[in-house]
Amino acid sequence: MRICVYGAGAIGGNFAARLSAAGNDVSVVARGAHLEAIRSRGLTLLTGDRKIVAEVRASDRPADLGPQDVVISTLKASSLADLAANITPLLGPGTPVVFAQNGIPWWYGQGLAKERRAAPDLSRLDPGGALARTVGFDRTLGGVITTSNHVVEPGVVHNISPERNVLWVGEPDDRQTPRIEQLRAALIAAGISSPATTDIRYDIWHKLMANLTGSTLCLILGQPTTIQKTPMINRLARRAHAEALAVAAAHGVVLDDAPETRYGPKRVYPDHRPSILQDYELGRPMEVEAIVRAPVAFARSAGVDTPTLDAIESICVSLAEAKGLYSSE
Q: Are 165 and 191 in contact (CB under 8 A)?
A: yes
207 catalytic, yes or no? yes
Per the residue annotation, which of 207, 229, 266, 323 is the catalytic one? 207
Decide: helix, strand or coil at residue 268. coil
Strand 25-29 relative to strand 2-6, pairing: parallel
CA 96 remoteness from chain centre: 17
Instruction: Tally DSSP H helices, then E strands, for the chain.
Output: 13, 11
Residue 6 pairs in a beta bridge with 29, 73
Within 10 angstroms of residue 221's Cβ, the number of other Cβ atoms is 13
How far apart CA 117 and CA 252 sit, in angstroms, is 7
H-run or E-run covering 189: helix 178-189
Maximum CA extent, the chain: 55
Catalytic residue positions, numbered: 207
